[in-house]
Structure 1
Amino acid sequence: MKPDLHPMEAARIAELRRYGILDTEREREFDELVELASEICEVPVSVVNFIDEGRQWFKAEVGLGVRSTPLDTSLCGHVILQGDFVEIPDTLDDSRMADNPLCTGEAGFRFYAGAVLKGANGLPLGTLCVLDHKPRTLTDLQRRVLRVLSRHVMRELDLRFALEQEQMMRREVDHRVKNSLASIGALLSMKARRESNQAARMALEDASSRIRSLSSLHAELHDLEGGESVDLKSLFGRIEADLLQLVPDGVTLVIDVREDRATPALANAFLLIVNEFVSNSVKHGLKNGEAVIEIAIRASDRGWSIGCRDDGTATAEDAERAASACGLGTRVIQSLAASMDATVQWNAAGRGMELTVAST
């Protein structure tokens, strides 16, 4: 018997598509779940499947050897029209499956048990099910395990969806910030060209240049997501040029990178630490006139470190305040270090501030 369509089929399919799981590659996270279900339920076949238009598609399977089958012969197509859990001790005793070629053959499926996978709106998307070639029943423990594993499948899908939504929102915010900064820089540049007063014109041009550099720096901060590694020397060559446009005249910025590549996460952490240290030095520690900020970045298979120092007027008390993470910038640095299991050291004795962040 061919499965009937769900009473809310259009909404059900829309919910399934929203998760973006169909036709994705096999993944160990899901394979392990069906392996565990098959082992605990002592059956040869276990699958995580989703009921699509005209087909039943398998995200993970043990003992089946295919990724999809026609909906006409789907056992799960019937099951999603029922409750949260369905167990059929002998499929040939069930009118919906007695004539199903998947059940009637010599090696047909005579036993079925499945926990329904439901989307956030409560509509059924598919099942986590187990099958056997002989009639049987599950124990209470086995039924409970199937229910728990099915909830784990949906938690994984919900988490992935939430992360994708968060990334989309962040990309949208980044795009708007970049556009806003570019617009402000362009407006300042236009105003500078129309300004007759030389001093005012130079000030507007300087502000426009700083805004454009800030826009470039913002883009660098948020473009380190993809790829296997980041070229640190190239990245910080661009960052050094951007930051120089944002610091006062007379400040020398030197960034020394000894190793070439790092993971995107580590490169992003380096970038944020440099940005916060330079910002804090400009705001709080540098003397009037000439000043130097030095950054040394080291990264290898054995570990990594980043050292930052300026020749400003920071004192031991300033270093203590920084170590206590009272300000926003120092809290950012402390949080980054904690997330990467790294140590943070602040030192100062009236001849400038020093910061060292290193892997443990």
Structure 2
Amino acid sequence: MLEPHNDPTQSAERLAALHSYDILDTPREPEFDELVDLAAKICGTPISVVNLIENDRQWFKAEVGLGIRETPLDVSICRHVLLQPGLTIISDLRDDPRMCANPLVTAESGLRFYAGCLLETPEGHGLGTLCILDTAPRKLSKDQQSALKTLANQVMAQMELRRSLKQKTKLLQEKELLLKEVNHRTKNNLQLIIGLLQLQLRRLTDPEAIAALTDTSRRIMSISAVHETLYQEDNVGVVDAASYLAQIIAGVAATAPHGTRFESDMESIVLPLDSAIPLALIVNELLTNALKYAYTAFASRQVLIILKKEGDTLYLTVADDGKGLPADFDYLKGRSLGMKIIASLARQLAADVSFFDNRPGLKCVVAFKADQRAIN
């Protein structure tokens, strides 16, 4: 029997490496079952297993010819080869002093032949083996030995793939949590700025200054709405356009003149952050401009917002029933800050912006191609 300090099964480093693969006690999988089945057929043996050696048991990820998932460690044959890299062949287990007293060997019609290829991590830790067993002594041909080594390499490749996917999933989860926290804090910081602007507005008496700060506050609210939606979404980094645009419309409606009606028809379209923020700001500018310039003081107001997707192109339409276009209107040469902002945001989206006389009113259509990964 191995002394504890010489027993490789009790190595803390080896056990940590084994547990890092997160494979113990997982269900059977075809990727492993097919490899043990192939090993048994190539080598002509009734038993083939992928076993992993824990500190107190031998657990089988896949097996042919046993019908069980684990055995106590003290009857494990493979535990004795954890320090032997490559392929270990024992033609007759009764002749090996380590195995001859094993109850699996001494039993009538017990095990006689063993061949196991070490499942070894890149760091050199033996985790278990891909092994084949028979109830009669025998040998393996060179081709069978080579095949067994190749199949063992495939077992390790499957395990490395599992570990890599687990690590990437963990990193992705950590990244998503970090992004959620960033969006939450950004939203809170923007809300703080809005609050400071609101305090400043209460002290102002100059109509132009009040209008300028109100517009600035609305723009910041639009960005805040995107980050609020990002924080709430399960899929971090993208947002549902209909959801966050509804928040922006509600924000503008809260300060609109009495009797203003907002109607919307928006498809549920997922957008990445670098498209969502410019689009939100464009909607804010178009709604604000409509309320400022489209109507006389006591006119009823109706504004329509439409968001549709046709193919890979998104179409945003904002239409009012106000006074319509001035005779000399030129969007690209517009001197107002709002038009300059819209032009700048349109360049960020690589969007085409068109204004039409709606008779009555004005219609603006913004068309751009969104990230296919986001909208499909």
TM-score, normalised by the number of residues in structure 1? 0.68
Moved more, 30-39 or 198-207: 198-207
2:19 to 3, 17, 20: 17
1:29-74: CA deviations, max 9, x gaps? 1111111111111111111111101110111111111111011110
Distance 2:349 2:244 in 1: 19
- Which of 172, 179, 182 aligns to 1:170? It is 172
Q: Do the aligned residues in 2 keep the contact of 1:347 with 1:354 (CA within 8 Å)? A: yes
* Aligned-pair CA distance for 1:186: 1.8
**Percent identity among equivalent residues?**
33
> In the TM superposition, what is the alpha-carbon distance from 1:252 to its structure 2 partner?
8.2
Other structure's SS at 2:270 match:
helix
The letter of the residue matching 1:146 is L
CA, structure 1 residues 280+42, in 2 after alignment: closer, same or farther (shift >3 Å)?
A: farther
Q: 1:272 to 1:203 in 2, by over 3 A?
A: closer
Q: TM-score, normalised by structure 2?
A: 0.66
Distance between the aligned counterparts of 1:133 and 1:329, measured in 2?
72
Partners of 2:226 and 2:280 within 8 A in 1? no
Q: Provide closer, same or farther for how the CA distance between residues 39 and 98 of structure 1 changes in structure 2, counting only shifts above 3 A.
A: same
Instruction: Check whether the contact 1:44–1:62 (CA below 8 A) recurs between aligned residues.
Output: yes
Structure 1 residue 194 displacement after superposition: 4.0
Cα displacement (A) at 1:174: 2.1
Cα 1:203–1:284 shift into 2, 3 Å: closer
Q: Tell me, yes or no, if the aligned pair for 1:178 and 1:215 is still in contact at 8 Å.
A: no
1:44 aligns with 2:46: yes
**Which letter does structure 2 place at the counterpart of 1:271?**
V
Give the C-alpha shift of residue 309 in structure 1.
Answer: 3.0
Identify the residue that residue 211 of structure 1 maps to in structure 2. 224
Q: What is the DSSP-based 3-state SS (H/G/I as helix, E as strand, rest coil) of the residue aligned with 2:176?
A: helix
Q: Distance in 1 between matches of 2:75 and 2:349?
A: 61
CA shift at 1:253, angstroms? Answer: 6.6
Instruction: Identify the match of residue 116 of structure 1 among 105, 118, 133.
Output: 118
Pairwise mapping of residues 155-166 of structure 1 onto structure 2 (< 5 A)?
155-166=157-168
Query: Which of 177, 197, 202 is the equivalent residue of 2:200?
Result: 197
| In structure 2, C-alpha distance between the alignment counterparts of 1:194 and 1:242, rounded to whole Å | 23
The equivalent residue for 1:323 is: none
Measure, in 2, the Cα distance between the counterparts of 1:56 and 1:25. Answer: 16
> What is the root-mean-square deviation of aligned Cα atoms in Å?
4.3
Deviations along 1:143-185, whole A, 9 cap, x unmatched? 1121112111222222222222222222222222222222232
Cα distance in 2 between the residues matched to 1:91 and 1:123: 25
Q: Secondary structure at 1:69's aligned position in 2?
A: strand
* Counterpart secondary structure, 1:222: coil
Hey, what does 2:308 align to over in structure 1? 295
Aligned to 1:67: 69
Contact 2:187/2:227, CA 8 A, preserved across alignment: no
Closer/same/farther in 2, CA of residues 107 and 157 from structure 1, 3 Å limit? same
Where does the alignment leave 5 or more consecutive residues of structure 1 unmatched? 225-234, 258-269, 298-304, 314-326, 331-345
Q: What CA distance in whole angstroms lies between the structure 2 residues aligned with 1:186 and 1:347?
A: 33
**Residue of structure 1 equivalent to 2:207:** none
Question: Is 1:309 aligned to 2:315, yes or no?
Answer: yes
Describe the shift of the 1:214–1:20 C-alpha distance in structure 2 as closer, same or farther (beyond 3 A).
same
Give the residue type in structure 1 aligned to 2:66.
L
* Structure 2 residue aligned with 1:271: 270
CA deviation profile, 1:191-211 (whole Å, cap 9, x unmatched): 433443224377346525632
Shift of 1:296: 4.8
